[in-house]
Amino acid sequence: MSTDPTSHAKATILVMTAGGANPAIVINALSARWPDVHVIQEHPESKLEIWRRRARRLGPLQATGQLATMIASRLLKKAANKRMAEICHQYGAQPVLNPAIPVHHVGSINDGKALDLVRTISPSVVVLVSTRLMKRATLAAMPCPVINLHAGINPAYRGQMGGYWSLVENDRANFGATVHLVDAGIDTGETLHEVRPQPAKQDFISTYPMLLTAASVEIVCQSVEETLEGRLAPRSPSGPSHLRFPPAIWTWVWHGLTKGIW
């Protein structure tokens, strides 16, 4: 893959994200290779919104248990920060967004302001990194291919916490991430590339996503380059398909105590 930052100089790359360190790693890497990168950053969903959505789908008890896991994992922030610094050093990742990259703020990637920005920016490719689900109508309005970085190997680990669930299910060979085309489903689009790093003993539920993101920079850039050159070769993912959610607090503690997977 060419790493010449002057290649495709006229191409415009648009990243849609809810912000954070993990998307910043990807955005900075893209900006280092292509000079015209824009960001549309949506306002993250509140914990209450997430709880309501999951409660409708999974029931209030499971939704509450999942929220408790996320709160508990944040109590381990000091340990997570130390490990994430090691990951960034290992991969040469930059988790703080370059202030020179233009960022456009919207309520949601699906609202009218976001669509107006897409029309103005006129991207050659759209990259999704940590956003809410792009609605069918929004996807239909995109003027170019839309690709997504998913922290899991599809289709077995669609949804959230794919790396964690692969370890819980003793499927360490499929601890990995997928870059795929976006369709109307949840991580159901055709696969472009996959990567399978090996987690360290000190990794846990708060650090798996950053490890998978940092390890995925090359396949994201490769997918963007292939899109710009019109040589994408998507393939349908095979095997059982499972939509994943964060573990409830009791599930997380059980697997931590019995399997050493936190």
Q: What is the mean pLDDT of residues 204-233?
A: 96
Read off the pLDDT of each residue in 4-24 and give the average, rounded to a whole number.
Answer: 82
pLDDT recorded at residue 46: 87
Higher pLDDT, residue 77 or 120:
120
Confidence of residue 134 (pLDDT cuts 50, 70, 90): very high
- Asked whether the CA dihedral 81, 84, 89, 92 is positive or negative, the reply is negative
| In the predicted structure, residue 63 carries a pLDDT above the cut 60 | yes
User: Mapping DSSP to helix (H, G, I), strand (E, B) and coil, where does residue 17 land?
Assistant: strand
- Give pTM, 2 decimals: 0.91
Q: Which tokens is 258 given?
A: 């019995």
Domains (range + CATH), the chain = 13-259 (3.40.50.170)
Mean pLDDT of 4-31: 86
Q: Identify the pLDDT of residue 79.
A: 81
**At a CB cut-off of 8 Å and minimum separation 6, what does 162 contact?**
150, 151, 152, 153, 176, 177, 212, 244
Rounded Cα–Cα distance for residues 131 and 124 (Å): 19
Section 108-114 average pLDDT: 97
Burial bucket for residue 208 (CB in 10 Å: 0-12, 13-18, 19+)? buried
* Per-residue pLDDT tens digits for 144-193: 999 999 999 999 999 999 999 999 999 999 999 999 999 999 999 999 99
**CA distance linking residue 64 with residue 60, whole number of Å:** 6
